[in-house]
Amino acid sequence: MVLPNPGVSCMESITEVNAMVSRKTAAVLQQIAPKSTALYHFCNFLERTQQSTVILLKLLIQQVLSTATESQVSVLLKHREKSTASPKAGAFLSALLEACPARETFLVIDALDEFEDRRALLPILGQLVQAGWRVMATSRQLPDIEGALHNYPQVEVAAAKEDVEVYVTRRLEESDFDSISNKSSIVNSIVKKAGGM
Domains held by the chain: number: 2
Selected residue with higher pLDDT from 42 and 23: 42
Task: Name the nearest CA neighbour of 127 among 76, 82, 89.
Answer: 89
**Average pLDDT across the chain, whole number:** 81
Per-residue pLDDT of 102-123, as tens digits, reads 778 999 999 999 999 999 999 9
The reply to whether 34 and 58 lie within a common domain is yes
Per-residue pLDDT of 157-197, as tens digits, reads 776 788 888 888 888 888 776 677 777 888 888 888 877 56
The reply to whether 130 and 94 lie within a common domain is yes
Domain span at 92: 10-149
Tell whether pTM > 0.85: no
Q: Please give the angle made by the CA atoms of 117, 92 and 151, to the nearest 5 degrees.
A: 55
Selected residue with higher pLDDT from 196 and 58: 58
pLDDT at 8: 40
pLDDT at 20 over 90: no
Residue 1: pLDDT band with limits 50, 70, 90: very low
Question: Between the CA of residue 39 and those of 101, 104, 134, what are the distances in Å?
Answer: 13, 11, 10
The percent of residues in the chain predicted with pLDDT above 70, rounded, is: 79
Would residue 5 count as lying in a domain? no
Query: At 83, which CATH number?
Result: 3.40.50
